[in-house]
Amino acid sequence: MDPTSRIEVDLDAVAHNLGVVRSTAPGTGVCAVLKADGYGLGAARLAKRLAAAGIEMLGVYTPEQARALLDLHISAPILMLMPIRKMERDDRLYRAASLGQLHLTAHDAGNLQALVEIADGLGIALPVHLEVDTGMSRGGATLRDASGLVARINEHPRLRLAGVFTHYASADIDRAFTMEQCERFAAWLDSEGKNIPKDCLIHQANTFALFRDSSTHARMVRVGLALLGYAGEEFADPEGFALGERAGELHGCVRWTSRIVHVKAIGAETPVGYGSTWKAERSSRIGLVPVGYADGYPLGLSSRSGEPPARVGVVLDAGIRGYAPVVGRVSMDQITIDLTDLPVDGVGVGTEVELVSMDREAPNTLPKLAKRAGTITHELLCRLSPRLPRTYRSGEVVGRSASVSLRTAR
């Protein structure tokens, strides 16, 4: 029996989005951030497609995420953003680091000392990226400490300063602070000019900074969400994005479908779902779809009095798509939708339901659902349950679940 629900990932859309990123920041390298298993979509499949498209670098956070990509034997370097303090010789990370494929991040003096001990203890040279904190106040070295760390890296024979970067705290909502961070970083880079090797990768732009201003592009941009096709929908001040129109060229890569498994006729004033939070205003047809918050369909998409409901696409037999509102409360593995305004003969048990659409104009795109649920697109992506099978589309090829070198950016 085939699964009732599935996530469809369009890999051609991902490759297209990489092209949009490149054309938005011409002459720069691109680091594809594939944290959290590629935002829940499958880092391995995304990495392979991006590698085939010539990605310069892959970014992850944890050692586990790095190991998963190393198993693919993709030659694109992998940047691990989490501070680490140990590495064993029998760890797959060791060989990758010794070959220069794995780049590590230095956050402070203690973390850098740990990297020195790893390099000396294992007898290997390590490519190191220094994170400089310009206002995120999360990871990274302060501006005052960062200069000393650059000197220590340059002095040590087994460390190579392969990159220097910062991270923007609010590029989606605050142009002024973003540009302030950009200026702080630029001033620090100017002060360290002679100490930064010519081949050192300077990177700072995340997805939102990419479209904010070209001054953030540097030698490499470090993006995740844009590669999946989402950005402009979350611009708090669209007029403040100098390159914002380019975000409109992105293609969403995610479609989530299920099927109606039960239909029930109810009378007016009949309550539906936990807490009886919704009552039919007329005789209605209610469809049951076997997905819920356990699958990643948020409780926040439950119907609420006085607010427009979330809607799902309903694919009719004739191929015409209608939309049905979600009514009542989202359950663990079920939602109820109101089918009353759709044709009786065309909608019933077995009818396909589109929970998430790739169509930017549809009411059920990920960004629109995220806004309705009071969250962000990143979170909805990461909440998609691993138990939902992923189907990957590339051209005419459908599959279930290359080799590139880092080009020095100008």
Q: Which of 168, 274, 297, 368 is catalytic?
A: 274
Taking the C-alpha atoms of residue 386 and residue 359, their distance in angstroms, rounded to an integer, is 23
Beta carbons within 8 Å of 262's beta carbon, 6+ residues apart: 287, 288, 349
**Cα 74 to Cα 139: distance, rounded to the nearest angstrom:** 28
Residues 6+ apart with CB under 8 A from 59: 31, 32, 33, 34, 35, 78, 79, 81, 222, 224
Of 233, 209, 212, residue with least CA distance to 221:
209
CATH of domain 11-236: 3.20.20.10
Please tell me the distance from the alpha carbon of residue 370 to that of residue 216, in angstroms, as a whole number.
Answer: 27
Question: How much is the average pLDDT of 213-218?
Answer: 97
Contacts for 122 with CB less than 8 Å, ≥ 6 apart: 87, 89, 94, 97, 98
d(CA 382, CA 41): 8
Percent of the chain beyond pLDDT 70?
Answer: 96
Active site residue 48: no
- pLDDT over 70 (residue 407): no
Give every CB contact of residue 299 below 8 A, 6+ residues apart in sequence: 293, 329, 330
pLDDT at 214 over 60: yes
Q: Could you tell me the CATH superfamily of domain 254-357+359-394? A: Lyase, Ornithine Decarboxylase; Chain A, domain 1 (2.40.37.10)
Helix (H, G, I), strand (E, B) or coil at 92: helix
What confidence tens digit (pLDDT) does each residue in 269-299 have? 999 999 999 999 999 999 999 999 999 999 9
Determine the pLDDT at residue 355.
Answer: 98
DSSP-based three-state secondary structure for 31: strand
Q: Would you state the pLDDT for residue 321?
A: 79
User: In sequence order, which residues have a C-beta less than 8 Å from that of residue 182 and are 6 or more positions away?
Assistant: 168, 204, 209, 213, 215, 216
Q: Is 317's pLDDT higher than 90?
A: no
Report the pLDDT value the prediction gives residue 20, as an integer from 0 to 100: 98
3-state secondary structure of 399: strand
With a cut of 80, say whether residue 398 has pLDDT above it.
Answer: no
pLDDT tens column, 53-96? 999 999 999 999 999 999 999 989 999 999 999 999 999 999 99
- Domain residue limits, the chain: 11-236, 254-357+359-394
34 pLDDT above the threshold of 50: yes
- Tell me how far apart the alpha carbons of residues 387 and 401 are, in angstroms, rounded to a whole number: 11
Q: Of 35, 230, 297, 368, which one is the catalytic site residue? A: 35
| Average pLDDT of every residue of the chain | 94
Q: Average the pLDDT over 35-52 and give the result.
A: 97
Query: From residue 334, how far is each of 36, 216, 330, 353, 354 by CA, in Å?
Result: 26, 44, 7, 13, 14
- Size of the chain in residues: 410
Burial pattern 149-178, b for ≥16 Cβ within 10 A else e, equals: bbebbeebeebbbbbbbbbbbbbbebbeeb
Q: Is 198 a catalytic residue?
A: no
What is the share, in percent, of the chain residues with pLDDT greater than 90?
A: 91
**Is 319 a residue whose pLDDT tops 50?**
yes
pLDDT of residue 404: 27
List, for residues 371-392, the tens digit of each pLDDT value.
Answer: 999 999 999 999 999 999 999 9
**pTM to 2 decimals?**
0.93
Supply the pLDDT for residue 396. 52
